Structure formats: C-alpha cells, structure tokens
C-alpha cells in the first residue's frame, strides 16, 4: 500500500500545449481519489504521468517517499485499468489475468492462486475459459479489474473505466469498485468526467479545469463549500442556480429589484461587497415549494411561473425564471404542479452561496 506526492507537476506536450499546471497533491495510503473535470482539463495526462506513460515536464512525483520521475512504468508497482479494457482477444479470461504474472516469471501455482482468488472476488470464475468476445461489457471490465488485482500493486489507477457501460451497469460497477477498494485497501486514483461518479466514489475529489486544480476536498466539503463558480456549477445535478444581484447592505441583497434579508452568518463575509454587484448561488434542492421553508423565512417566497416541469420519479425539476434570470427548483413530486402554473417558491437562505462577480471566487466559506 502506498502514499503519493505530486509536487508542482507540470506537463507541456511536444506541440507546446500545456495540459497540467503546478499540480500539487498529497495522497494518503488507502485513499480513493477522484480526478474530475470536463474534457481536456488534464486529468488523464496527470494519471498517465503517475503511471509513467507520459514524461513529467517539471515537478516531482513520489510514491512512498521514493522519487519516481525516472522510474520505468513496470517498476512503479502500479496497476492501471482503462476505459477500453485493453484485453487480449485471442486469450482466455484466465490467460488475460495471468499474462502479466507469467511475464514476471512467477511460479505457476502462485499465478493460479492469484487468478482464482481475483476471479472469486469479481465473481467471474465461471468465465475463466472464455475469450473476451464471449463476455458482456460489464464482465470484460471485471476481467480488466482482475488483471489489476492479481498484480497486488501498491496503487490502482483507473481512467474512466465505466464509460463504455450502460447506465444501469455503471451504477452496479460503481458499487463493486467501492467494495473492491474497501476489501483490497489499495490507494486508488480514478479519473472521470462524471460528477456523480466522483461524488459517490471518492474519499477526496480533485476538481480540475484547463489544467489547473480548482479544489480538493471530500465530496461533502466540495458540495457544501465550493471554492468558486466553476466547482459550484460542475458538482451537483441539476447545477447550482446563479443570480446576479447587488449587495445593498451586509444583511441585504437585491436581485432584480427584489430585496432579500440575508442571515447573520453571512454578514461578515459580505461587508467588503456593500454597494457592489455579486453573484448569488442557490442549489435547486434548496428552493422549496411554499411551506415549511416559507414559514421559516417569511420574506423569501417569490412568484414563479413553471415553464417546464420534469418528473424524475419522486421529484420534479421546475424550470422557470427569476426576473430575466433562469432558475431551476427541485421539489417533491407529491406536489400538484404542471407547466404553465403560477406558483410560489421559497429559498432556504441559510443555504445561499455568494461569489465575487469578477473572479468567480466564493465569498463565503
């Protein structure tokens, strides 16, 4: 098992594209770290530098205190699982899993024991004699995981391993990978562009954009205290609403001529912004159908015309506007609402977020 350190790591490709800027991260033994961000943010490049598949342009990588920059991939004690499975089509499942160990000249009995043990864990024992083409996508991905498990590697690296699977299987494999991590305890770094995967699997999330780390923290921390508008908008579904407003006084925000009293807890943070424009953020789930919240915060109810009403089962996503600005609310589907209705909604003002309009950086933490 292993800890990792990345110190001021940069990557500039031959075509002068800088994919990663000053990446700093310390990973503890047994952590499940997820790199998440939109396409092109540099998450795969960072993972590939850790694996040794890409050279580190500048900066240092340590595994268990040992500098790894110039160590060959095969000597880094790392197992990698790719989106494409990368199985050998002409080999059986057994041989696919045994192949790496045979190359290492491991005794046959030990190989057999490791392959059978991994197959048990992954419940693929009945398929050991099959070729990959006779397996479903989920079973193939299990073989790819098995190939990583048999190596008893210190570190597991996974690059979008579930993105070829259909939605249902993805959810199932998500749980299996979490269980696998709990039982093996190997330090794991997992790359995805899917914020739900990041939220459900990670012990800590690293949110990236344009080659820069935006925020590092537990899923809860990142969700509740996003460091900037990018993180706030990227993590959470549907995305956080942003409304442009003016901070009239520390306890008052005006949005489209409508004034809101802001709870005491935000007053100190807002003081430097008095008289300035700011961005107010509120998650759709923190906007409620008139009721409990409206009673608790009597000045917040506002008129809302439901333009679209999406049923998600136990919840509705209501689409509409606050003045000219778009607003989404997530409310219980037990409420009787349909498109075209004029209703009253209320914001839970204790759940507000505030952002500097110029920099997008969170004002309240």
- Judged by CB under 6 A, the chain residues 206 through 265 that form the site for ligand ATP are none
For ligand ATP, the binding residue among 9, 27, 36, 43 (CB under 6 A) is 43
Closest CA to 186 of 60, 30, 54: 30
For ligand ATP, the binding residue among 4, 19, 177, 306 (CB under 6 A) is 19
What is the nearest approach in angstroms of ligand ATP to the Cβ of residue 45?
A: 3
Q: How far apart are CA 139 and CA 123, in angstroms?
A: 9
Please report whether residue 17 would count as binding ligand ATP according to CB under 6 A: yes
Q: At what angle do helices 108-122 and 137-149 cross, to 10 degrees?
A: 140
Q: Are 357 and 267 in contact (CB under 8 A)?
A: no
Listed ranges 22-30, 36-44, 140-148, 263-271: which one lies at the site for ligand ATP (CB under 6 A): 36-44
Closest CA to 263 of 287, 299, 292: 299
Listed ranges 37-45, 178-186, 335-343, 348-356: which one lies at the site for ligand ATP (CB under 6 A): 37-45
In order of 230, 244, 275, 342, the CA distances from 315 in angstroms are: 25, 27, 38, 18
Please report whether residue 52 would count as binding ligand ATP according to CB under 6 A: no
Closest CA to 204 of 57, 338, 15, 36: 36
Total interface residues for ligand ATP by CB under 6 A? 13
Query: How would you list the strands of the sheet with 315-322, edge to edge?
Result: 308-311, 315-322, 325-332
Closer residue to ligand ATP, CB minimum distance, 17 or 86: 17
Half-sphere exposure of 18 (CA within 13 A, CB side): 11
- Token output for 263: 């709870």
Please report whether residue 51 would count as binding ligand ATP according to CB under 6 A: no
What is the nearest approach in angstroms of ligand ATP to the Cβ of residue 64?
A: 25
Closer residue to ligand ATP, CB minimum distance, 36 or 240: 36
What is the nearest approach in angstroms of ligand ATP to the Cβ of residue 273?
A: 33
Q: How far apart are CA 283 and CA 289, in angstroms?
A: 14
- Judged by CB under 6 A, the chain residues 192 through 211 that form the site for ligand ATP are 193
- Token output for 346: 């209320």
Please report whether residue 88 would count as binding ligand ATP according to CB under 6 A: no
For ligand ATP, the binding residue among 9, 31, 34, 42 (CB under 6 A) is 42
Please report whether residue 16 would count as binding ligand ATP according to CB under 6 A: no
| Sites of contact with ligand ATP (CB under 6 A) | 13, 15, 17, 19, 37, 39-45, 193
């Amino acid at each position: 098992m292993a800890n990792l350190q990345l110190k001021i790591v940069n990557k500039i490709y031959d075509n002068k594209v800088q994919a990663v800027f000053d990446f700093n991260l310390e990973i503890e033994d047994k952590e499940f770290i997820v790199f998440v961000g939109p396409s092109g943010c540099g998450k795969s490049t960072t993972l590939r530098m850790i694996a040794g598949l890409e050279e580190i342009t500048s900066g240092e990588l340590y595994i268990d205190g040992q500098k790894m920059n110039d160590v060959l991939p095969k000597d880094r004690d790392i197992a990698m699982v790719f989106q494409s499975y990368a199985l050998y089509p002409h080999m059986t499942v057994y041989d696919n899993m045994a192949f790496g160990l045979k190359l290492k000249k491991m005794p046959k009995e030990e190989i057999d024991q490791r392959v059978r043990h991994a197959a048990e864990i992954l419940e693929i024992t009945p398929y050991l004699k099959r070729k990959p083409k006779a397996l479903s996508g989920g079973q193939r991905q299990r073989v790819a995981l098995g190939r990583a498990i048999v190596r008893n590697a210190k570190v597991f690296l996974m690059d979008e391993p579930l993105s070829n699977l259909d939605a249902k299987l993805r959810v199932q494999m998500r749980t299996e990978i979490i269980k696998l991590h709990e039982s093996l305890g190997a330090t794991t770094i997992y790359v995805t562009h899917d914020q739900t995967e990041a939220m459900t699997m990670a012990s800590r999330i690293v949110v990236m954009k344009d080659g820069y780390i935006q925020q590092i923290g537990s899923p809860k921390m990142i969700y509740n205290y996003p460091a900037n508008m990018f993180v706030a908008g990227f993590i959470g579904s549907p995305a956080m609403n942003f409304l442009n407003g003016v901070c009239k006084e520390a306890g008052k925000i005006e949005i489209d001529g409508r004034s809101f009293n802001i709870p005491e807890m935000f007053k100190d943070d807002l003081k430097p912004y008095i008289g300035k424009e700011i961005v107010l953020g509120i998650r759709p789930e923190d906007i409620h159908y008139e009721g409990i919240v409206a009673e608790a915060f009597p000045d917040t109810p506002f008129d809302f015309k439901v333009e679209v009403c999406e049923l998600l089962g136990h919840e509705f996503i209501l689409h509409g506007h606050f003045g000219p600005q778009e607003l989404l609310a997530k409310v219980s589907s037990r409420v009787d609402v349909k498109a075209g209705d004029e209703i009253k909604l209320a914001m839970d003002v204790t759940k507000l977020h505030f952002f500097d309009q110029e920099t997008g950086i969170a004002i309240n933490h």
